């Protein structure tokens, strides 16, 4: 049940964000936004769950359900291949670096936010 509720909420938010088809200088950023947002939420929630010893159901709800449905590797890959198909190799490489680098940074940021709020150094 927790997994299903989280997945419905994550899928709904992803739909709302990606249905806007946002672009920045030909770079598709809707998928980038959901990947960064999902990574930040995962960093925040997984650290809080571990630090406070919350029930594993919260991992199902937030980490696997919500973040799993919100983020999208397949759409990121599809959009990147689309950039390659039209000859935008530099933009495709930039898209790869942004999605991977910013998502990893967002997980670290989420974790750091929780640790700072808890006063952990």
SS3 for the chain is: CHHHHHHHHHHHHHHHHHCCCCEECCEECHHHHHHHHHHHHHHHHHHHHHHHCCCCHHHHHHHHHHHHHHCCHHHHHHHHHHHHHCCCHHHHHHHHHHHHHHHHHHHHHHHHHHHHHHCCC
- pLDDT the model gives residue 22: 76
Provide the percentage of residues in the chain whose pLDDT is more than 90.
Answer: 87
Closest CA to 6 of 98, 82, 49: 49
- pLDDT the model gives residue 87: 96
Q: Mean pLDDT throughout 21-47?
A: 89
- pLDDT the model gives residue 94: 94
Give residue 27's pLDDT band: very low, low, confident or very high (50, 70, 90): confident
Q: pLDDT tens digits, residue range 87-113? A: 999 999 999 999 999 999 999 999 999
The domain locations on the chain are 2-118
Give residue 54's pLDDT band: very low, low, confident or very high (50, 70, 90): very high
């Amino acid at each position: 049940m927790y997994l299903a509720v989280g997945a419905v909420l994550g899928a709904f938010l992803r739909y709302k964000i990606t249905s806007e088809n946002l672009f920045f200088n030909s770079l598709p950023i809707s998928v980038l936004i959901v990947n960064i947002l999902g990574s930040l939420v995962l960093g925040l929630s997984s650290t809080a769950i571990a630090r406070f010893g919350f029930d594993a159901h919260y991992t199902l709800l937030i980490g696997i359900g919500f973040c799993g449905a919100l983020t999208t590797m397949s759409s990121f890959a599809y959009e990147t291949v689309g950039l390659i198909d039209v000859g935008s190799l530099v933009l495709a490489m930039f898209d790869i670096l942004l999605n991977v680098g910013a998502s990893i940074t967002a997980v670290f940021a989420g974790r750091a936010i929780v640790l700072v709020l808890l006063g952990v150094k």
